[in-house]
Amino acid sequence: MDDLNFLHNSYEAEKEPKLNKNLDQDELEEFGLNPKILIVEDDKVLGLSIKKYLMKTLNCQVELFTNSMDCLAHLMQSPVRDKPFCLITDISLEHGADGLLLIDNLKEKGFNFVSIAMTGFASIETAISATKKGVFHYLTKPFELENLQKLVIDAISVKMGIDLNRLKSNEKETVKNNVAKIIKNIKIESPNPDDMFCQMIGRSKVMHEVFERIKKVALTESTVLITGPSGTGKELVANAIHELSSRAKRNKVSVNCGAIPGELLESELFGHVKGSFTGAISNRKGRFELANFGSIFLDEIGDMPALLQVKLLRVLQNKTIEPVGSTETINIDTRVIAATHRDLEKMVQENKFREDLFYRLNVIPIRIPALKERREDIPLLISYFVDRFSSADRSNTITFSDKALEMLLGYDWPGNVRELENIIERLVILRGGNEILPEDLPAKIFRHNPLATDHYKHIFELPEEGVDLKRVLSDIEDSLILQALSYTDGNKNQASKLLSLNRTTLIEKMKKKALHI
C-alpha cells in the first residue's frame, strides 16, 4: 500500500487533472471517441489512485463507486442505455453484490460495456469464472497503473472499435521533450548506493518501483512471472528475488526453455532413470530436484512446448515430479520464477500457451521497463559500463561530447541495457583514451534516432496543378544532404552513413550539385 499512498498523496497535491491539450474535443465528441470509465473498488485509496491516473493519462470521463449497487443505480438513471463504457471492478466487495454478479446484472439489462476484473485473491477457479462471463482481462493485485491503462486502451479498442491510442500524447514529441529535459542537466556521473540494487542500476521512478516490488515479492513463496523486452535484465531480477528470500542459502537453478530442444527439455527439468531412452546410461536428477528447497528460474517460458506446459502445470499444482521413464513421483519444494519477453496473454488468446498455466505462473507479475522508458538512467549506466571495461590504470577510459551523449539519450535502444553495454565495451576497446564524438557512434544510432531525422510520411502534398517531379526530388535530395552535413558538423563519412550512401557517392553528388556547408 506504500506505492498507492504515494500516488494518492501526489495526486491530492494537484488540482483536478486537465484533459490532454493536444486533443480536439469537438472531433472526439463527433466520432464518439470519449468513452466513460466506471470503477467499482471499495479500497478508497486504490480506487482514487486509479481514477486520478486514468483521468491524467487518458481523455476519458472516469467515475468511482465503492459498491456495485451505487454503480448500478447510476447506470439505471442514464438516459442513453447503449452508450459504451468500460467497467473496472473488484471481484470481492464488502458491501452489495460482488463484481462478477454486477457484470451479469449489466448484461441482463442490455448495457454496452467491456469489463476488467481485479482481485487480491487470485485463483484458477475465479479466473475461469471471469473468463466465462466475457471479462476482457483478469488482473491480480498489486499491479502497475500503467499496465491497467494499457489494458483499458486494448479493451476499448478491441471490444468497441475505438482507438484510444489517439488519446495519448504524441510519442515522438514525448521522447523529444523528455530527452530535452534530461539534456538541460546532462551529466555522466557514477551511480550512488541508492541507485544500485542487487547488481541493477536505476534512479528513475519506474525502476525504484521495480526494486520495491522485488523486496515485497522476495518475502513470499508465491510464483513470480517476470516480463519485459529482451536485454532488460530479467535474470538479474530473478537472482535478486532468490537472494532476498528465505531460500537464499539453497540452490538457484536456471533453465532457458528456448535454448534446449523440446525432446531434451523434459529430461532436463524432471530427470530420467537409467534405460529410459537411448543414451540414458544412468539415473540423472532434473533441475527441479536440484533446486529442491531453493528456486528454479524458467527463462523464456513462452517457448516451452505444449506437452511440457501440461506437465509443468501438474508440477505447480501437486508439487511433485515424475522423472522420464519412472512411475514413481518425487515430492519437491521448489519456488518457481518464470520470465519471458513474449506476450503470454496474446499467446493464450491464440491458443499457443495454456490459459490455466498462465494463471498459475502470473500470481505476482513484475514488468521490467524498456531502456527507452527510463532514459534518465542512461548516463548512470554509461558511467558504470565505462568503469567496468576500463583498465586498472584508467589509460583507456573514455569521455563523451555533449552531442554524442545527446544521440545516446535519444536512441530507442531496441536491445535495451544489453545493447548499451555492448556499445560501451566496443567504444572502450576501439576508442579508449579519447573523447567520443558523434561520428564514433554506430550508424544505427543515427538512423533510428528520433532526434536525428523525422520519419517522412506525407512529406509533400501534391497540388492540383501537378509538379515537376524531377525538380522536386532534386530539391528534396539537396535538402537531406545539407541536413545530414549540418547534423554531423560537416563530417562527410558520418553524413554518408545517415543517408545510407557510399562516401564517394556523397562527394560526387555534392560536387555535381555544388553543395557546400
- Residues 363 and 399 reside in one and the same domain: no
d(CA 274, CA 172): 59
pTM confidence score: 0.59
Burial grade of 469 (CB within 10 A; 0-12, 13-18, 19 or more): exposed
pLDDT of the chain along its 517 residues, tens only? 444 443 344 333 333 333 333 334 333 333 344 678 999 998 888 888 898 888 888 867 889 998 888 888 888 887 656 678 899 998 887 766 688 888 888 888 888 888 998 887 766 666 777 777 788 888 888 888 888 888 888 888 776 666 555 444 444 555 555 555 555 556 788 999 999 999 999 999 999 999 999 999 999 999 999 999 999 999 999 999 999 999 999 999 999 998 898 878 999 999 988 888 887 788 899 999 999 999 999 999 999 999 999 999 999 999 999 999 888 899 999 999 999 999 998 899 899 999 999 999 998 999 999 998 898 899 999 999 999 999 988 899 999 988 888 889 888 899 999 999 999 999 999 999 999 988 888 877 866 665 554 444 445 666 777 878 888 788 788 888 888 887 777 888 888 888 888 888 888 888 888 877 6
- Judgement on whether residues 286 and 398 belong to the same structural domain of the protein: no
The answer as to whether 200 is a domain residue is no
The C-alpha cell 527510463 sits at 374
The answer to whether the CB of 136 falls within 8 A of the CB of 103 is: no
> In terms of domains, do 105 and 162 share one?
yes
Listing DSSP states for 322-358 in one string gives: --BT----EE---EEEEEESS-HHHHHHTTSS-HHHH
Q: What are phi and psi of 236, to 5 degrees?
A: -65, -35
Q: At what angle do helices 416-431 and 378-389 cross, to 10 degrees?
A: 50
Terminal CA-CA length for the chain? 59
* Beta-strand relationship, 224-227 and 364-367: parallel
Last residue of a domain, one of 447, 482, 505: 447
Question: Are residues 14 and 158 located together in one domain of the fold?
Answer: yes
Regarding whether 325 and 248 lie in a shared domain, the answer is yes
Distance of CA 510 to the CA centre of its chain: 44
Q: Which three cell numbers stand for residue 245?
A: 528470500
CATH number, domain with residue 498: 1.10.10.60
β-partners of residue 436 are 400
- The number of angstroms, rounded, from the C-alpha of 143 to the middle of its chain's C-alpha atoms is 13
Question: What range does the domain containing 78 cover?
Answer: 2-169
Report which DSSP code applies to 272. Answer: B
CATH number, domain with residue 430: 1.10.8.60
Assess whether 229 and 346 both reside in one domain: yes
Q: Is residue 388 part of a domain?
A: yes
Measured distance CA(210)–CA(415) in Å, rounded: 20
What is the rounded distance in angstroms from the CA atom of residue 456 to the CA atom of residue 478? Answer: 16
Overall number of domains in the chain: 4
8-state DSSP, 279: T
**Same domain membership, residue 48 and residue 110:** yes
CATH number at residue 81: 3.40.50.2300
